[in-house]
């Protein structure tokens, strides 16, 4: 019987070598595959990092341009700081004193202040401001941003447009007049800048947009509406009154005039068209008496009023009362006949509803006042379309002058 042969030393060495080689080759293959996978991942990460660094660099460059130059404002290539430097010397503080008397007829004095701006009227330098800034004042002064103050007098005023023109004895070197351009080109959304002296803080600037056009506000003096008012979001405060409302070229498109108490971002400005229309008369004659007058009072139509009246028109201006001997009365327009409780308020109904003037649609008091102020003059005959007892008719009215 033969016993199994033992492996020779050479066989052992060969087997050991093959095993070791296999292990080495497997290890090398595994390492290579792992290295390639890791390398790909590292390359991807490096690429992503490079992209992020490039994006950060672009953002930083953009931020630096904005911080350094203040150049790009909502797509407009305008420097607001440059605009301010352009106009700041043209805006003045206006101060005056009002004399009042107590119950014992003893005089006491109250100082009032507002803003104004320099304008070149046919070669003569004047200051334009609001009427209510200088109303019933004495000892009026104007102070430029450099601190120099001078006495001033009221050259002319119009309470029904809240405008006043002042004359001052300042030397010519103080005057840096602003340009006034037509407000007809303004659109809702246009950027506007207000410069004035809120609370006496000289040369303050604020920015906003035109939030509405063709508004109508009523000042205390006379109770007449001021038409075609610009509504703006530019922050206004007491003391801003009389300051310029500017476009991004530094041109005057209005004059800030009023704010609504406790409102957020709601201010009003007289349109520059009104200034351009009246400046000559104010500076030369001291007044302006070319405001057209219809001689009627009324309310805006609503769905509720239309339903209560049994009419099929929900827009327009409902005449509640006509002035005896006035243009509306002379033309045969009718006021209301009875009072009705509508939505918790008494409304005088039964009068004519104005829906158009010279074929221009009238939707409310704003459009009525704006059309009359912008397109008509006293003595002009207009065609007024009305709804009376559910019938549409046209009445010719000759406008008068505000009494």
List domains and CATH numbers for the chain.
Answer: 90-174 (2.40.10.10), 191-284 (2.40.10.10), 292-401 (2.30.42.10)
What is the mean pLDDT of the segment spanning 181-195? 96
Active site residue 44: no
Active site residue 280: no
Active-site residue, selected from the candidate residues 206, 241, 369, 385 = 241
pLDDT tens digits along 29-41:
555 555 555 556 5
Separation of alpha carbons 48 and 131, rounded Å: 65
Active site residue 162: yes
pLDDT tens digits along 16-27:
666 565 655 655
Q: What pLDDT, on a 0 to 100 scale, did the predictor assign at position 377?
A: 95
Asked whether residue 354 carries a pLDDT value surpassing 90, the answer given is: yes
Pairing state of beta strands 317-322 and 353-357? antiparallel
What is the mean pLDDT of the segment spanning 209-213? 95
Rounded to a whole number of angstroms, the distance between the first and last alpha carbons of the chain is 150
Which class for 118: exposed (0-12), middle (13-18), buried (19 or more C-beta within 10 A)? buried
Q: What pLDDT, on a 0 to 100 scale, did the predictor assign at position 261?
A: 64
Active-site residue, selected from the candidate residues 90, 115, 158, 162 = 162
Higher pLDDT, 35 or 373: 373
Which class for 373: exposed (0-12), middle (13-18), buried (19 or more C-beta within 10 A)? buried
Q: What pLDDT, on a 0 to 100 scale, did the predictor assign at position 2?
A: 46
Q: Of 146, 89, 83, 149, which is closest to residue 113 (Cα–Cα)?
A: 149
Active-site residue, selected from the candidate residues 90, 115, 132, 352 = 132
pLDDT band at 226 (very low <50, low <70, confident <90, very high): confident
pLDDT band at 3 (very low <50, low <70, confident <90, very high): very low
Residue appearing with tokens 């033992």: 6
Which class for 61: exposed (0-12), middle (13-18), buried (19 or more C-beta within 10 A)? exposed
Provide, rounded to the nearest whole percent, the portion of the chain with pLDDT above 70: 78
Mean pLDDT of the chain: 86
Phi, psi dihedral angles at 388 (to 5 degrees)? -130, 120
């Amino acid at each position: 019987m033969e016993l199994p042969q033992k492996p020779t030393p050479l066989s052992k060495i060969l087997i050991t070598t093959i095993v070791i080689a296999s292990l080495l080759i497997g290890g090398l293959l595994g390492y290579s595959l792992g290295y390639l996978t890791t390398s790909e991942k590292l390359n991807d990460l490096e690429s992503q990092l490079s992209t992020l660094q490039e994006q950060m660099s672009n953002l930083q460059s953009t931020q630096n341009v904005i911080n350094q130059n203040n150049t790009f404002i909502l797509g407009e290539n305008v420097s607001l700081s440059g605009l301010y430097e352009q106009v700041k010397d043209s805006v003045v503080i206006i101060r005056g004193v009002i004399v009042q008397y107590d119950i014992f007829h003893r005089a006491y004095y109250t100082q009032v202040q507002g803003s104004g701006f320099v304008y070149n009227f046919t070669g003569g330098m004047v200051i334009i401001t609001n009427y209510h800034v200088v109303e019933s004042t004495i000892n009026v002064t104007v102070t430029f941003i450099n601190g120099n103050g001078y006495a001033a007098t009221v050259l002319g005023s119009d309470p029904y447009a809240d405008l006043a023109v002042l004359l001052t004895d300042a030397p010519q070197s103080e005057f840096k007049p602003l340009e006034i351009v037509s407000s007809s080109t303004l659109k809702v959304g246009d950027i506007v800048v207000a410069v004035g002296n809120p609370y006496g803080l000289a040369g303050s600037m604020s920015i906003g947009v035109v939030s509405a056009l063709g508004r109508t506000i009523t000042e205390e003096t006379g109770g007449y509406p001021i038409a075609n008012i610009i509504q703006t979001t530019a922050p206004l405060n007491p003391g801003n009154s009389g300051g310029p409302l500017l476009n991004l070229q530094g041109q005057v498109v209005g004059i800030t005039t009023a704010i609504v108490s406790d409102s957020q971002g709601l201010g009003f400005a007289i349109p520059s068209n009104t200034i351009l229309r009246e400046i000559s008369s104010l500076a030369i004659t001291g007044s302006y008496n070319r405001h057209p007058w219809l001689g009627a009072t009324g309310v805006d139509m609503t769905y509720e009023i239309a339903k209560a009246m049994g009419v099929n028109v929900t827009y327009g201006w409902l005449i509640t009362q006509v002035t005896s001997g006035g243009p509306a009365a002379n033309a045969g327009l009718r006021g209301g006949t009875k009072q009705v409780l509508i939505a918790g308020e008494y409304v005088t109904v039964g009068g004519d509803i104005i829906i158009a003037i010279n074929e221009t649609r009238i939707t409310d008091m704003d459009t009525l006042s704006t059309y009359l102020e912008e397109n008509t003059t006293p003595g002009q005959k207009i065609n007024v379309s009305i709804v009376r007892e559910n019938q549409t008719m046209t009445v010719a009215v000759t406008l008068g002058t505000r009494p």
